[in-house]
Structures are given as C-alpha cells and as structure tokens.
Structure 1
Amino acid sequence: MLSLLNNKSVSIALYFGLLLAPFSGHAHSTSKVDNVAEQHTRYIATYFPGRISGTPAEFLTAQYLQQQFSQLGYHAHIRHKQGVAYPLAATSAVAVHRGQLPQEILIIAHIDTPQADTAHQRQQNVGGINFQGVDNNAASLGVMLELAKRLASHHNGYSLRFVALGGTQPPHQGMTDYLNSLSMDERKNTLLVVDIENIIAGKTLAFLSGNTTATAVRKQTTGEAKRIAQQRDIPLLTAQLASSRSRTLTVYEEMGLPYMRVTASNAVKLTTLATGEIKPVLGNDAAKDNLAYINHHYPRRLAQRSHQVVTILTPLLRGLLTPTRAAKH
C-alpha cells in the first residue's frame, strides 16, 4: 500500500477532500483548556496515521498545525525540505510569537513517524502507513498546541518559537536542515531548545538536560521543573542527558544550543544518560503505539500525562520568557 501513496494518481487534493472536512471546529471547539492536548492528539492520530516523511499525511499534519497556531494569533508558516526520502517534500510547521527582545525559546516536537524499510521490520510492526504514533509523537504535538494556547496571551520580553519538524527519522536530514538554516545570530539568540517526545508510555516523566547545557541553565530548567512538579505532586525524574565521558551530543547541542528533553521513562531512578540509551517504551510498534492499545493498557494515561507536561511547562516557560531586570540592561 505504500506505493499507493507515492502514485501520481493519488493527489494531495484527494487527501484534503477526505481529511480537511473534519478540521473545522473539532480540536478547538471546547472552552476547556485542560483537555486541549488530548483532543489534538486523538485527532492527529486518528486522521493522520503514517506521517512518514514526504507523504501526504505528514504534509496535512503540518497544515493542521499551522492552522491551529494561526487561530491562536501566532505568525505561522509551512516549511518544506525537498527530497529527504520521498518525491514529496518533508514538511514542518513553524509558529512564532515575537517578543520585545531578539532572544527566543524554541519548542520542538517531530511530526514524522518511522517507516518499515525491510521485511523484518514489517514483520515486527515497525511504523508504516497505518502507524498512529500516539506516543511517537502525536501526544507531543498535542502538548505543543496546548502550550501555544496557554502562552498566546503572555506578553513576554523574549520570543517563543514552536517548530513541528518533519524529516526527523534517521538519517535526520529535516532536523539538520532546519538547524543549518539558522543564522549565527539566531543560534546565539536561542536561549533554550525544549524537545518533547515519547511522553505517554513511560512510567514517569523525565526532564533531561543536555551535556553542554550550563549549570545555571540546568538550575533554571530541570531544577525549576522539579520544584514545580513537587508543588503539584507530579512524579518527575531529572538528569543530565549525556555523560562528560561519552560526550554523546544531540544535533542541537552540536550547534551550541542549550537543550532540555521532555520525555517519559520506565527507569526507577535516572543516572547520567547517553543519548542512545533513551529508548521509547513502545518502540516503533504499530500494534502498540495506537489509541486502542494505549486506552486499554494505559487507561487515562493520555489525558493525565499530557496534563502533567503542560502543568509543569506552562509556568516554567512563562518564567523563562520574562527577562530579569539584570538581563534587560
């Protein structure tokens, strides 16, 4: 069936006809804020499975995200990267809330889902066009949209940028391409990258600082997250992402950007971790990473975990977006 997606007779217009109709009013129709992330997650997983880089599903997810950001008052646009893995471009959605100062905080979550490249991977239910990818990574996109809603009216000194990236699955061209597009000034003005992924299936939330992230920044980020979580009785593990011995860096850190990953882990206690040691609990298994399986095996987890992440990140980001008196001078 994968060849069907790539057949020229299957047009983007057909997918718009099938999938855009449920867009209007669905995910933002409620006046409640607390379940916004869950609503978006269920919508994306249901209507846009198989968000493989370069496919219509990835493109339409980016269009959906752009629409939601724009309705919240953000300057939102679509970004294409041609020829990552398919004839169609890998697509990202970018939304910006400009502050009074040039510095900004960058919130990232990936759109694309994995593809089964071999017969063995297909036998193992890896990815594919039916892969809903709730934990990988629709739930993080839902959280991103709820954060955007909660922070839209927050008048801050620093800018806030949301990037829903396509083309992030190995070999990560989409991610690298976006970072390479940043000018030296934009890199210098990026105060923090918050990378959200795989937040549902793990037993406990984990906020992980990058190896090159300064101690003062770790105190303001993972340290502050721990304080907020304790105040709200939310179990939270914090650690440094990579050891000084392994020097395993994310692509963001390789660009010199302060970094924090928001994820979930089955570990009882996190020690210093290397990037490659963090594995999604459900892996890329299409038979497990879907709404039916998660609803059955992790009842109420989607709503609860999404709410926990938003509850911690909202005050954390509001604090970070407001420059101190000393920073203004």
Structure 2
Amino acid sequence: MNLKIRNRKMAARMRRFVMIMTALLLAAAMASCSLGRGEDKPGLADYGDEGAQFARKLALSYPRRTPFSDQEKAAADLLMEELQKLGYTPEKQSFTIIDEDGVRKTSANIIARLDGQGFSLSQKLTDEEREGQEPEIHDLVMVIGAHYDTPFVPVDEPEEGEPAEPVLADGIHNNASGVAAVLTAARIMREETPGYRVVFVFFGAGMEDYQGARHYLSSLSSEERSKIDVMVNVGPVFAGDKVYAHA
C-alpha cells in the first residue's frame, strides 16, 4: 500500500477516535446537571459537578447574554475568571462588526491554550510501517470550542392592563451546557496532558451568524490553520437523551 495513503488513513482513524473520546468526555461532564431531583442514575464517569455548577451560574447570572449585549460582555469576564481559577492565562480576543444600520457592535472570544506532549510512533510498528513517517510529532493542534451567548428570545408586548409574561429561557441549554462541558475538558486535560496542543475557544456572538468563530478563523495565519488536526465544537448538551458526534 502506498505510504502516503496509509498515513492519511491512519490520521483519519486517529481523528475519529479523538472525536468519539472527546464527545464521551463532554457528555459525561454534564451528567450531573439534573442531580438533586430525586434521581439516582450512574453517569458515564465521575468528573465532578463543577461543570454543572458553572452552567447554572452562567445561566442564572446572565440569562440574556445575546450577541453584543452587556450581559454577553459580563459573561466573557466570568469565563476569564473561571479559566484563571483552573490555572490558565486566558486571552480576550475582541472584535467589532458594523451591522446593516451602520452601528458598530463589539464582542469577544475567550481563548486558553494548553501545551501537549506530542505523538510518537508505536513501538509495535514494524520497520516497514515506520518507513517514511516522522518518529515524533509535536505541533498538531486540537481546537475545542463552544459559543457562550444566547439566542434572542422575542417577547410579545402585553395587552393594556395585562401583566407581562415572564421569559423563562435562561440559556442553560443553548449554550451554558456546552460552555461548561468545554471548561470540564479544560480542567481534566490539565491533569492528563494530551498529545495535541489544545486551544479552548469560547466564541462570542455565535448566534449572530457565527461572528466569533469567523473572527477567530480569520485571525489565524495559513501556517496556523495547517496545524489544526481536529476541531470539536460543542453545542447544547443539556436537554434530550442523546448526544450526537459528527466526524
């Protein structure tokens, strides 16, 4: 078999494996969100309930963190504080757009980085299988991200003399749950150093046509983009009985 073809297949298998394992980790991270309701169901693994606690805190403190809002900015500061508690030195990547009315709007991505230990070829490989392959790789990057803003929830104006209906949506599903899952991954990965260099990105203005993700991608050089081997984007994982992983 052609070595280049075999290398591509091996790389594809590795990416699929990493995606599946990351999905399981992120699913387990939110397993405790429903605890305290008389349920006694075992989770996939015990990663603690810090993720669930943060999801509740984010949702209760800033339930209307719509793109470019003051609550979204406050949520970004909360994420900075949480990452610092975990031992990271986070970066706030601010960006500005001009909407169709000519109004300038500002949001920010919150970014934290973790060095990996790299990959080396398995000792089980034969000399033939090793031929043409790098013995060690240290610059592959995995990006794990989630948007932290919430969708806009329209509120109907009450009839004259009628009380306004309360808006119950607090964004814990979309997407405090995803944010908390990524934070849990960030905490666990500091304890178990990964092979990849990992970049955790919490995207601002995700509900505004993915503005945060677009800005992050545009900020990377061609060389930086070429180093990205895996990208895991965590959407809402609070509600429902299933978690879907796409590779």
* TM-score > 0.5 by shorter chain: yes
Alpha-carbon shift at residue 174 of structure 1 (Å): 2.3
Q: Which moved more, 1:187-196 or 1:58-67?
A: 58-67
Which of 145, 149, 152 is equivalent to 1:108? 145
Tell me the CA shift for residue 130 of structure 1: 7.0
The answer to whether the aligner puts 1:94 opposite 2:111 as a matched pair is yes
Contact 1:50–1:129 at 8 Å: present in 2 too?
no
Percent pairwise identity: 25
Give, in whole Å, the separation in 2 of the partners of 1:84 and 1:177. Answer: 13
1:1-329 aligned at under 5 Å gives the runs: 33-83=47-97, 87-100=104-117, 101-116=138-153, 121-123=154-156, 131-209=169-247
- Tell me, yes or no, if the aligned pair for 2:109 and 2:216 is still in contact at 8 Å: no
TM-score, normalised by the number of residues in structure 1: 0.48
Q: Secondary structure at the match of 2:176?
A: helix
Q: Specify every segment of 5 or more residues in structure 2 that has no aligned partner in the other structure, as ranges.
A: 1-45, 118-137, 158-165
CA distance in 2, matches of 1:79, 1:53: 15
SS at match of 1:83: strand
SS in 1 for 2:245: strand
Distance 1:189 1:167 in 2: 25
Contact residue 75 and residue 97 of structure 1 kept, 8 A: no
- CA RMSD of the aligned region, Å? 2.4
* Partner Cα separation in structure 1 for residue 176 and residue 83 of structure 2: 16
Q: CA deviation at 1:72?
A: 1.7
How many angstroms apart in 2 are the aligned matches of 1:63 and 1:38?
19
Length-normalised TM-score, structure 2:
0.63
1:88 Cα offset (Å): 4.7
- Displacement of 1:191: 1.1
On the 8 A contact 1:76/1:93 being kept in 2, the answer is yes
Quick one: which amino acid aligns to residue 50 of structure 1?
R
Change beyond 3 A, Cα 1:90–1:131: farther
Distance 2:140 2:52 in 1: 30
Distance 1:102 1:57 in 2: 36
Decide whether aligned partners of structure 1 residues 53 and 84 sit closer, same or farther in structure 2, where only a CA change above 3 A counts. Answer: farther
Say which one has the larger Rg: 2
Residue in 2 that maps onto 1:296:
none
- Aligned-residue offset at 1:34: 1.5
Structure 1 residues 200 and 154, CA gap change in structure 2 (3 angstroms)? same
For 1:200 and 1:34, the matched residues in 2 are separated by 16
Deviation at 1:171, TM superposition (A): 2.5
Deviation string for 1:135-193 (max 9, x for gaps)?
A: 10001111111111111122334211110000111332222121111111111111111
Q: CA deviation at 1:129?
A: 8.7
Could you tell me which amino acid in structure 2 is paired with residue 177 of structure 1? Answer: H
* Structure 1 Cα separation of the partners of residues 167 and 211 of structure 2: 20
Tell me if the contact between 2:92 and 2:108 (Cα under 8 Å) persists in the aligned partners: yes
